[in-house]
Structure 1
Amino acid sequence: MAAQLSPAQLQALMARLNHQGGTASSPPSLDAALKLSPDQLGSAQGSSAVAQLVQALSQGFDPSPEQRRKLVSAILPAASFALDHAAPPPHLLHLCTLLKLVGRSPAGTEELARTDGLAALVRLGGLARAADLPPAGEGDSAPTPSSTRDDEQDDDDDPAAKAARALSSLEEDPLSPPEQEALRCLANTLTLHPSAREVFPDVLLAETDQHAALRGLVRLLGCKGAGFLAGRLLFLLTSRPSELVGELALEGECVLVMQQFAERYLAIYHSESHRPSLTAGTPSLDDILREHLKLAYNLMLQYSRAPPVVPEGFDKPSPSAGASAGAAASGKKRFRRPREKSGASNSSSPDLGAADDASDAGSAAAAAAASAPGAKSPRSLAQKVVDAVKGSTSTPGASSPVGSPSLGASKELGTQPAGSSSAAPAEPSKAAATEGGSSDSLSLTAAQLFLPLFRPYLILAVSLPPAVTSSSPASSSSSATSPQPIKDPSPVVRAALNTLLNFPVELEELSGWSTSWLQYVPSRISPDDGTVLRGGGIGSLGERLVELLHGVCEAYFPADRAPPSPKAYSARDRDEPRTLVPPCGPDEWIPSGEGEAAKVDEILGPVMLLLRKLSMLGEAQFVFRNVLFPPDLDRSTPIDRHPSLAGHLVRLLSSILLPNTSFGVGEFLYNLCDRSPEQLSRTIGYGNASGFLQSRGELIPPPPHEDDGGQKGPRINPITGAFDSPSSAAAADDDDEPPMSEEDKEREAERLYTLFERLQRTGVISTPANPVEQARAQGRFEETSEEREAERERVEREERELEQEVERDLREWKERRARRVES
């Protein structure tokens, strides 16, 4: 009997038997606990039954959904009774632990996800008490928001001393054990019951004590143990747009706590003797930082989807400001500039030692000039740029100046998210139309609220090891020449890069190099005069992104090897396996149906979107173009056959299994080519660029063959982007290419048909775009049968006979005419 069952059936049978056995062998403490009233269960009278039940659940007892439902209905009021009547701490701990153990399954715990259940868990978690705790970090050891920046310039201070101060400034967990268990149960409930995330903001808003629970969560965010729970709860709270998202952003305390924690983390990381403390304990400082990064991403994303609100300190524009905003915003534009307008010559790279207008030496003068009437301060410039970019969506009537962060201002934030209430990302074709970035990016005005997080998270992204197995930061200078394969990038680095995605590319216009995309971290000193190098090049972030991109490509689809098992796209491929020659495309390497495509796309997608942002800056655009496509680029082989990073990018551009990465690669290369379809086709070849241009609706006719620079020499094939070999050039001139055989035509047609069917099933193309479907709809494509095939052969035979008869008659006529002429 057992041998005839499949593994899935055996597993289901064992689960059913285990469930029946667990129900039949319920511990006596369960019946004893359910017979008590909530008051009795919450007093010392029920302590024995509760303790035994906790022990039974810890040892593997699995209640049925109905038993869970009864337990939740009894324990929730009992725990509230125990809290109100000051029950002994062990008993309250057992009640909260029992709630946590029962709440690990969504079946039967629906009451926890309702308003009363969430309110009870918030009260048991002690969040209101945490809100009244004195502020942490009031001593001399507390770092200032700019401590990380000052530490980089202060060579007299020992990194170990900085790390010791950072460790001492971290506050210990102020939660009691029962409160910790209650908050764990609350986090499980919000995770297992998606409907609870919609109710949770209303529960916090219903409080009468000025949202004490929300302030308590923010207060716990920077603590050692409680920071993990507070970060997870705030992350779940901000998974949907709500009024509390605006309050968290406008209040500023949440952003300040995350900034200080990141700076303390970096101070500890830079000391080798204190670095092991980052991963010590459960939860560790690493775990807490990851929750902070996820929270920061959610907070910025949801705030960007809300109607814009002008932060405190921004002047409300006058009615006439909107008319002149476009001219004022375009007065200083550093985005998507051609090479001749980016301050770089055609033969040399930009001067990396040149100081920018917003350097440290000129920052004081710029601040003084900003106070003068009519000066272009960062704030006023940001407001003008926002008015010019947002247009009607950011009219002065839609946003009001905020004097003090209040709920009244934040209510406008959560009612109607901008664009749509759906949380789904925009389609690639729609996102491609917005050249300035995603519709979910923060505006310049809103980015002012989150600027304190930019530099710490940038340092995290570029300073920490790129891979999990790395023991020390990798050298950015050698990443482009000798990339190391990166199979599993660091979760902290990935989370920091994801957070940076929310900052707008126009950040350069807001505050100069103090929050620049292109700054070097740590700062680089010029060997000539000892000055700090500002801007130019691609900065540390660009180098880290190139390092990650090249390392992940070499790990998942190396250019020097071919997949051991080629994929079969047709029946003929299954019978006669194809022979692959490296380098091979990503879709050849990624196995089908194993989830690896989604994993690789999740890693490379954010990297390419950040590279796209950097490529919109004139300085970075020029450097990226020279690094990937230098003037002496080897054109002896097509670009998609190169083992270099440029070859990886072109192969990724045609990937079907990595849609987000393919879209980011296309936009990145398009920016490097000054957003010109002709230049993109000349750079990577028309055959490689045609698919991307077609998706943008900018497909152009293929260019003709042209000589290299108008001089004698090999011609550049406009389809492949490579030099034509002498043999191929002669073949093109003489038109002596052998025609395809019928077998080759049949094989190619079968491959194309299979490819179009795959594209249609995956949603890459719509049905009208399939030429097979078009031909069938227009009557030009019919299924063949033996009778139709015989009829076709008969018609062809009659036509051949008729042609032969005409030729014979013509030949006979010519012969008769020739005889008459001779006679």
Structure 2
Amino acid sequence: MAAPPALDRFLALSPDARTQPEALAPLSQVLQACAQGFQPAPEQRRKLVAALLATGNKLADQGDSPTRSSFLALVCTLLKILGRSPAGTEELGRSDGVRVLLRLGGLPRIADLRKPAQTPPLADNDNDDNDHDDEDERAAAERAIDSFEADPLSQPEAEALRCLANTLTLHPSAREVFPAVLLADEARKALHGLVRMLGCRGAGFLAGRLLFLLTSLPSDLIAEIALDGACVAALQQFAEQYLTILRSPAHAAQLSTGTPANPPLSDILREHLKLAYNLMLQYSRAPASVPEGFSRPSSPSRQTLSPPTGEVESAPGAKKRFWRTREKSGGSTTSSPDLNRDEASPPDEAEASTSPPRSKSPLAFAKRVVGAVKSSSSPNYSPNTTPKESSPQPPAAPYASQQTEGNSPDSLSLTSAHLFLPLFQPYLALSVSLPLLVPVPATPLSPAAPPSFKDPSPLVRAALNPLLNFPLELEELSGWSTSWLQYVPSRISSEDGTVLRGGGIGSLGERLLELLRGVCDAYFPPDRVPDEPKLLTKRDREHGRALEPPCAPDEWIPTGESVASKIDEILGPVVLLLRKLSMLGEAQFVFRELLFPPHRDRSLPVDRHPTLTGHLVRLLSSVLLRNTSFGVGEFLYNLCDRSPEHLVRAIGYGVASGFLQNRGELIPPPAGEDADDSPSVNPITGAYDPPSNPADDEAPMSDAEKEREAERLYTLFDRMARTGVISAENPVDRARAEGRLQETSDEREAELDRLRREEDELEKEVERDMREWKERRRRATEQGKDPAQV
């Protein structure tokens, strides 16, 4: 499409003339052409962007007037359209460009707006049973909807902020400039304006996206945002309002509906969750020193925080639940005997002398366990892994490092967790309350698709990500109000109507297992095989050989497609959270009872089971799902008391050896266990070996069996020689080189058959002649003749 003449006319105007009414017509024509598909050349785009930024900066200094409003609408809209392409828009990502866009976005004005009075929440005593019925939920949802602030942005301001969001996404260097521009203003007006908009109906999406991009890189603003508390309070309030609406069936559908001016509340919440994850992650990596007089929300009855060190001192009588003993946790000491067979045996003296003394402090024990996790290096986890969003995202991933729990560098400490503690309860509730599956809406090209675990709710996945940043020892802060293992919503006892305390694995563990099982069944169905298995060769197909379900995950993942990264993006945070929960004593025993029950089926190897345990063991051996396989290995290792021997007994040496090798803890294969009254367990597969029949062992092999065995041995020798496993020469090749083995053909087989028939006939003729000669000698002897003359 050719450039409109109005473009040259507008660029030919002087800077002052571009703000006069005569510039409205050419500017409007240029906008109309760009909206219809005109794409300026990079040099034209560069000149036009510079002119628009200068014009917008001049207009921002003028007073309100109808002409100014029309100019700003045209300038900001045209900047947004031009900013969709990175070519020729570099000026937008520089300091001056970012500063102008912030002015045009009206953030200083919004920072000075007064917040409206909040609608009081629905009182708990409105219902005598303290249990909200449908009317209470409807009334609470209506109040929550009314409590959202109206969008304070004008149309030009919204377009300018959309242009800024596109610039920060398309120009990575702009994400380094953005914090510096905000820090240049000592009053932090623009920053306060962004935080102020988080709770607004339409502007909340733009504010969340801009703050998410702002926190994608470390900067001094991270500590200011975290310590100020206004951002965390806004995120908490929005999440609680969302949950209130979600609990009302009559209003829940409104969460996913929106207009072009007001995006759905679910989209705003997703931006909030991404922002919360980035903010917690960046603050945990470089926490600022706590300013003098800064107070943390803590309960004196629970613990005392020491500002210089951040150590936590539990008050007398406080409940310590981290890594509790099995007896105190309510776990059966006799469950899963396969994992704990050697538990009663005394430790080796050398081990006892080198191991650190045991401490009764749950925090000290937590540090020991997390230290053991940190000391293990795994090639299966890349620190630069980035999850894919609907638009290009900065390098901040839900699992950006393998050290994402406990006191690792990428997890909050107990001290800094207090800043974000208000977010734990609502985000935990969102993770377990939001529907896992969402139907795919119809499009002009395809009809509506039923919900599937191949694409679970992105909102649930976004809610799980911030939980990764909370420390493992979270329950030491304020008891059950921040417990990983609580039931959300609370469960009521059927006997006396009291609220049941959490325990076991809680709602979060149940949700994680449900999500893991659903995704595995959808992508790796255990009752079928792939249409084009990778392990089957052409020779296998010619001989009618086929794979038997269940198949390994790598068999199901197409080669050269992005399916592996998508599955890894879904399952990575799930298995890391399972790993985190499995380091809590009560959850460990419940997971063990579910995955390794005492009387589980041993007739098949564990990796052949169609159960969730089978899925986990097969994921452990995946090469394409590196993040998931690492998290699964650590999860199973925790369930086995971080003991290589227990892990081998639980899943078999064959599948455990690779994981143990990566950890540098590979042990020799265990010896088989003989028992007179029960079948023995194969230490390699973890399954029972079938009893052998002596009669079968002595039965000779048929010719067909000998041929198949010879072919199998030849193939095995050839593969090991080509991969460098052995250096010995294949005996078949040696026999062929020495002339003891010759290639066969149909003609040679026919010739060999003819020679064998001639030899048989000759042998029969010789035997016949010998019988006749013996008969003549016998008759000669009877007649008195000399036998030698016969």
TM-score (norm: length of structure 1): 0.74
What is the CA–CA distance in structure 2 between the aligned matches of 1:451 and 1:327, rounded to whole Å? Answer: 18
Indicate if the aligned counterparts of 2:278 and 2:396 stay in contact, CA closer than 8 A: no
Indicate if the aligned counterparts of 2:335 and 2:597 stay in contact, CA closer than 8 A: no
Indicate if the aligned counterparts of 1:467 and 1:487 stay in contact, CA closer than 8 A: no
What is the CA–CA distance in structure 2 between the aligned matches of 1:735 and 1:247, rounded to whole Å? Answer: 82
Residue 553 in 1 paired to residue 545 in 2? no
Residue 194 in 1 paired to residue 172 in 2? yes
Counterparts of residues 400-411 of structure 1 (less than 5 Å): none
Give 1:290's aligned residue. Answer: 270
* CA 389–601 in structure 1, closer or farther in 2 if over 3 Å, else same: closer
* CA 641–34 in structure 1, closer or farther in 2 if over 3 Å, else same: same
Give 1:793's aligned residue. Answer: 738
Residue 304 in 1 paired to residue 284 in 2? yes
What is the CA–CA distance in structure 1 between the aligned matches of 2:98 and 2:673, rounded to whole Å? Answer: 71
Indicate if the aligned counterparts of 2:111 and 2:196 stay in contact, CA closer than 8 A: yes
Where 1:88 maps in the other structure, the secondary structure is helix
* CA 95–577 in structure 1, closer or farther in 2 if over 3 Å, else same: farther
Indicate if the aligned counterparts of 2:198 and 2:207 stay in contact, CA closer than 8 A: yes
* CA 485–48 in structure 1, closer or farther in 2 if over 3 Å, else same: closer
Displacement after TM superposition at 1:340 (Å) = 4.6
Letter aligned with residue 516 of structure 2: L
Cα offsets for 1:680-733 (capped at 9, x unmatched): 1111111121111111111111111125xx671111111111111123899899
Give 1:41's aligned residue. Answer: 18
Displacement after TM superposition at 1:26 (Å) = 0.8
Counterparts of residues 50-199 of structure 1 (less than 5 Å): 50-86=27-63, 87-136=67-116, 138-141=117-120, 153-155=131-133, 158-199=136-177
Where 2:196 maps in the other structure, the secondary structure is helix
Letter aligned with residue 459 of structure 1: A
Indicate if the aligned counterparts of 2:119 and 2:147 stay in contact, CA closer than 8 A: no
* CA 68–560 in structure 1, closer or farther in 2 if over 3 Å, else same: same
Where 1:457 maps in the other structure, the secondary structure is helix
* CA 386–548 in structure 1, closer or farther in 2 if over 3 Å, else same: closer
Where 2:692 maps in the other structure, the secondary structure is helix
Equivalent position to 1:610, from 570, 577, 590: 577
What is the CA–CA distance in structure 2 between the aligned matches of 1:345 and 1:274, rounded to whole Å? Answer: 45
Letter aligned with residue 295 of structure 2: G
Letter aligned with residue 690 of structure 2: S
What is the CA–CA distance in structure 2 between the aligned matches of 1:671 and 1:660, rounded to whole Å? Answer: 17
Q: Percent identity?
A: 62
Where 2:486 maps in the other structure, the secondary structure is coil
What is the CA–CA distance in structure 1 between the aligned matches of 2:499 and 2:320, rounded to whole Å? Answer: 24
Letter aligned with residue 720 of structure 1: T
What is the CA–CA distance in structure 2 between the aligned matches of 1:577 and 1:753, rounded to whole Å? Answer: 27
Residue 727 in 1 paired to residue 692 in 2? yes
Task: Name whichever of 734-743 and 172-181 sits farther off.
Answer: 734-743
Indicate if the aligned counterparts of 2:405 and 2:471 stay in contact, CA closer than 8 A: no
What is the CA–CA distance in structure 1 between the aligned matches of 2:529 and 2:86, rounded to whole Å? Answer: 46
Indicate if the aligned counterparts of 2:405 and 2:469 stay in contact, CA closer than 8 A: no
Displacement after TM superposition at 1:530 (Å) = 2.1
Give 1:684's aligned residue. Answer: 651
TM-score (norm: length of structure 2): 0.77
Indicate if the aligned counterparts of 1:234 and 1:295 stay in contact, CA closer than 8 A: yes
Cα offsets for 1:181-229 (capped at 9, x unmatched): 0000000000000000001000000114x11000000000110100000
* CA 386–685 in structure 1, closer or farther in 2 if over 3 Å, else same: closer
Cα offsets for 1:589-638 (capped at 9, x unmatched): 11111110110111011110011111111111111111111112011111
What is the CA–CA distance in structure 1 between the aligned matches of 2:313 and 2:547, rounded to whole Å? Answer: 54
Where 2:150 maps in the other structure, the secondary structure is coil
What is the CA–CA distance in structure 2 between the aligned matches of 1:594 and 1:559, rounded to whole Å? Answer: 22
Indicate if the aligned counterparts of 2:4 and 2:33 stay in contact, CA closer than 8 A: yes
| Cα RMSD for the two superposed structures | 3.9
Which structure has the larger Rg over C-alpha atoms? 2
Letter aligned with residue 188 of structure 1: N
Letter aligned with residue 159 of structure 1: E
* CA 306–184 in structure 1, closer or farther in 2 if over 3 Å, else same: same
Residue 459 in 1 paired to residue 424 in 2? no
Letter aligned with residue 510 of structure 2: E
Cα offsets for 1:769-822 (capped at 9, x unmatched): xx56xx7xxxx589x9xxx9799638999xxxxxxxxxxxxxxxxxxxxxxxxx
Residue 439 in 1 paired to residue 409 in 2? yes
Cα offsets for 1:248-281 (capped at 9, x unmatched): 1111100100111011111111112212221222
Displacement after TM superposition at 1:313 (Å) = 2.7
Displacement after TM superposition at 1:564 (Å) = 1.5
Indicate if the aligned counterparts of 1:336 and 1:615 stay in contact, CA closer than 8 A: no
Letter aligned with residue 738 of structure 2: E
What is the CA–CA distance in structure 2 between the aligned matches of 1:325 and 1:464, rounded to whole Å? Answer: 34
Indicate if the aligned counterparts of 1:382 and 1:445 stay in contact, CA closer than 8 A: no
Cα offsets for 1:387-422 (capped at 9, x unmatched): 99999xxxxxxxxxxxxxxxxxxxxxxxxxxxxxx9
What is the CA–CA distance in structure 2 between the aligned matches of 1:675 and 1:725, rounded to whole Å? Answer: 30
* CA 77–151 in structure 1, closer or farther in 2 if over 3 Å, else same: farther
Letter aligned with residue 507 of structure 1: L
What is the CA–CA distance in structure 1 between the aligned matches of 2:365 and 2:667, rounded to whole Å? Answer: 33
Instruction: Provide structure 2 residue ranges, at least 5 long, that are not aligned to the other structure.
Output: 297-303, 337-360, 372-394, 442-450, 743-790
Residue 747 in 1 paired to residue 725 in 2? no
Indicate if the aligned counterparts of 1:235 and 1:298 stay in contact, CA closer than 8 A: yes
Residue 673 in 1 paired to residue 644 in 2? no
What is the CA–CA distance in structure 1 between the aligned matches of 2:282 and 2:693, rounded to whole Å? Answer: 56
Indicate if the aligned counterparts of 1:568 and 1:577 stay in contact, CA closer than 8 A: no
What is the CA–CA distance in structure 2 between the aligned matches of 1:151 and 1:32, rounded to whole Å? Answer: 73
Indicate if the aligned counterparts of 1:278 and 1:284 stay in contact, CA closer than 8 A: yes
What is the CA–CA distance in structure 2 between the aligned matches of 1:59 and 1:179, rounded to whole Å? Answer: 23
Residue 649 in 1 paired to residue 627 in 2? no
Indicate if the aligned counterparts of 1:383 and 1:445 stay in contact, CA closer than 8 A: no
Give 1:240's aligned residue. Answer: 217
Cα offsets for 1:711-758 (capped at 9, x unmatched): 71111111111111123899899999989845324434566689x7xx
Residue 658 in 1 paired to residue 625 in 2? yes
Displacement after TM superposition at 1:113 (Å) = 0.5
* CA 569–29 in structure 1, closer or farther in 2 if over 3 Å, else same: farther
Letter aligned with residue 66 of structure 1: E
Is the helix fraction higher in 1 or 2?
Answer: 1
Where 1:726 maps in the other structure, the secondary structure is coil
Indicate if the aligned counterparts of 2:102 and 2:161 stay in contact, CA closer than 8 A: yes
Equivalent position to 1:264, from 229, 241, 263: 241
* CA 33–330 in structure 1, closer or farther in 2 if over 3 Å, else same: farther
* CA 485–685 in structure 1, closer or farther in 2 if over 3 Å, else same: farther
Q: Size of the alignment, in residue pairs?
A: 668
* CA 328–664 in structure 1, closer or farther in 2 if over 3 Å, else same: farther
What is the CA–CA distance in structure 2 between the aligned matches of 1:286 and 1:426, rounded to whole Å? Answer: 23
* CA 738–211 in structure 1, closer or farther in 2 if over 3 Å, else same: farther
Displacement after TM superposition at 1:39 (Å) = 1.9
Displacement after TM superposition at 1:37 (Å) = 1.8
Give 1:396's aligned residue. Answer: none
Displacement after TM superposition at 1:535 (Å) = 1.9
Instruction: Provide structure 1 residue ranges, at least 5 long, that are not aligned to the other structure.
Output: 1-21, 350-380, 392-421, 472-483, 757-770, 798-823
What is the CA–CA distance in structure 1 between the aligned matches of 2:500 and 2:318, rounded to whole Å? Answer: 25
Indicate if the aligned counterparts of 1:300 and 1:442 stay in contact, CA closer than 8 A: yes
Give 1:406's aligned residue. Answer: none
Indicate if the aligned counterparts of 1:310 and 1:445 stay in contact, CA closer than 8 A: no
Displacement after TM superposition at 1:569 (Å) = 7.0
What is the CA–CA distance in structure 2 between the aligned matches of 1:427 and 1:96, rounded to whole Å? Answer: 36
